[in-house]
Amino acid sequence: MVALEQPRIGRRSTLFAGVAVGAVPGLVGAGIGRELPALLKGRGSITGARTGEVSTGSAVVWARAGQQGRLMLRLESNGRRLRSVRGPWTDARSDYTARLQLTGLTPGRQYDATVWFTGPGGSGGDSPPERLTFRTAPLHAAAQSFVWSGDTCGQGWGINPELGGLTAYRAMLDTRPDFFVHCGDTIYGDEPMEETVVEDDGHVWRNELTDAVTHVAETLADFRGRHRYTLADDHVRALYAEVPTIAMWDDHETANNWYPGELTDDDRYTERRCDVLAARGRRAWQEFQPVPLDRLVAETGDGFAGLRIYRKVARGQHLDVFCLDMRSYRGANSGADDTGILGPVQEAWLVESLTASTATWKVVCADLPLSIPSTHADDLDGPCNGDDGRPIGREPEIARVLSALKRHGVRNVVWLTADVHYTAAHHYAPERAAFTDFDPFWEFVSGPIASETFPAKDDELDGTFGPEVAFSQGNASGGRESPRAGHQFFGHARVAATGELTVTLHDGTGAALWSKVLEPQERRRPRPV
pLDDT score of 462 more than 90: yes
pLDDT digits (tens, 9 = 90+) for 143-166: 999 999 999 999 999 999 999 999
512 has which bridge partners? 506
pLDDT digits (tens, 9 = 90+) for 3-56: 333 333 233 333 333 444 333 222 222 222 223 333 333 334 688 999 999 999
| Residue 43: predicted pLDDT | 35
* Alpha carbons 501 and 394: distance in angstroms, whole number: 30
Q: What is the mean pLDDT of residues 170-193?
A: 98
Q: How confident is the model at residue 2 (pLDDT cuts 50, 70, 90)?
A: very low
Q: What is the mean pLDDT of residues 505-524?
A: 95
| Residue 121: predicted pLDDT | 67
Q: What is the mean pLDDT of residues 120-139?
A: 81
pLDDT digits (tens, 9 = 90+) for 325-342: 999 999 999 877 778 999
| Residue 528: predicted pLDDT | 62
The CA-CA-CA angle for residues 408, 413, 416, to 5°, reads 145
| Residue 416: predicted pLDDT | 98
| Residue 83: predicted pLDDT | 82
| Residue 39: predicted pLDDT | 34
Q: What percent of the chain has pLDDT over 90?
A: 79
| Residue 529: predicted pLDDT | 57
pLDDT digits (tens, 9 = 90+) for 243-287: 999 999 999 999 999 999 999 999 999 999 999 999 999 999 999
| Residue 151: predicted pLDDT | 98
Cβ atoms of 216 and 150 within 8 Å: the answer is: no
Cβ atoms of 190 and 255 within 8 Å: the answer is: yes
Q: For the chain, what percentages of helix, strand and coil (3-state, to nearest 5) are there?
A: 20, 25, 55
Q: What percent of the chain has pLDDT over 70?
A: 87
pLDDT score of 187 more than 90: yes
pLDDT digits (tens, 9 = 90+) for 358-404: 999 999 999 999 999 887 767 899 999 999 999 999 999 999 999 99
| Residue 297: predicted pLDDT | 61
Q: Residues 143-181, buried b or exposed e (16+ Cβ, 10 A)?
A: ebbbbbbbbbbbbbbbbbeeeebbbbbbbbbebebbbbb
pLDDT digits (tens, 9 = 90+) for 417-451: 999 999 999 999 999 999 999 999 999 999 999 99
516 has which bridge partners? 503
β-strand 501-507 against 512-518: which pairing, if any?
A: antiparallel
* Alpha carbons 444 and 301: distance in angstroms, whole number: 37
Does 90 or 39 have the greater pLDDT score?
90
| Residue 92: predicted pLDDT | 95
The DSSP-derived string for 422-478 is SEEEEEE-GGG-SS--S--EEEEE---SBS------GGG---TT-EEEEEEE---SS
Three-class secondary structure of residue 204 per DSSP: strand
Query: Could you give the C-alpha distances from 252 to 187, 258, 339, 365, in angstroms and in order?
Result: 6, 8, 21, 17
Three-class secondary structure of residue 173 per DSSP: helix
pLDDT score of 314 more than 50: yes
Say which residues have a Cβ less than 8 Å from residue 176's Cβ, sequence separation at least 6: 145
* Alpha carbons 94 and 79: distance in angstroms, whole number: 33
Question: For 150, phi and psi rounded to 5 degrees?
Answer: -170, 180
